[in-house]
Amino acid sequence: MGWVRGNTPVEQARLARGRLAMRGMTDDAQVWAGLIQAFDLWRAVVAGYAQAYARVGVEQPVCGYRYAMLDADRQPRVATRAERSLWWSDASGLPPAAGVQMIDTLAEGDDPALPGLLCLHALRRANDDPLAETMRQSLTATRASTQPKVPVLVVHGTVDSLVLMAQTGQAYVAAARRQAVTAIGFWEVRRAQHFDAFVNLPAMAGKVQPLLPPAFEALDQMRAHLDGGPFPADRVID
């Protein structure tokens, strides 16, 4: 989205919020974006996905991001067999989780997270870097066709501030319908965000609802449709 201008932090924040709104992040989603930032989830996501999109191994960390278990002095150490056995059940899929920490080897200065993020930003836009080209090819390969060959039912939370509804689920369904696709539906879940694990945190308790219950209901309805029942109708779930 580029750099924001402004002479004061308040003005910069106002401009940044306006730019986020232009990209489809609603005011309610922006409220919970603060929690995403507090948990450093955006950096965890982009670091992990960049490594995957680059299609390189652990010996070739993209922009200096590494993963490791740490000892008492916060130095990398080998994980025990018992620790590794818990990764599948206790980890979220992206470190930091289940004892595995993300190590930012570019971290320095007043904002230690910034150098690594700027590195990823530059790599995403580089035109003469083989690694950047591989990442672009990987991103292209993840794009879903707007003419799916199977029935599709998208369930998305309205206050998801990690994967914006306007940029993904809602936009995809609209694009498919412009292609005359009929076996596609959209369930809009009000007050649902990305992480059901967060719904009972003090800041969120009573203000959001979990996404998994309607997702399980959607699976049941799609199974019924595949067994000969009607295709699920669009819904707004309050």
DSSP character string of 67-111: EEEE-TTS-EEPPPHHHHHHHHHH--SSSSBTTBEEEETT--SSS
Residue 221 burial (CB count, 10 A): 19
Q: Would you say 235 and 187 are in contact if contact means Cβ atoms under 8 Å apart? A: yes
| pLDDT one-digit tens code per residue, 10-44 | 999 999 999 999 988 999 899 899 888 888 999 99
Which helix H or strand E contains 46, and what residues bound it?
A: helix 41-54
Residue 216 burial (CB count, 10 A): 11
Residue type, 3: W
Closest CA to 51 of 106, 3, 123, 112: 123
Domain ranges of the chain: 39-140, 152-237
pLDDT at 3: 83
Residue ranges in the chain modelled with pLDDT below 70: 1-2
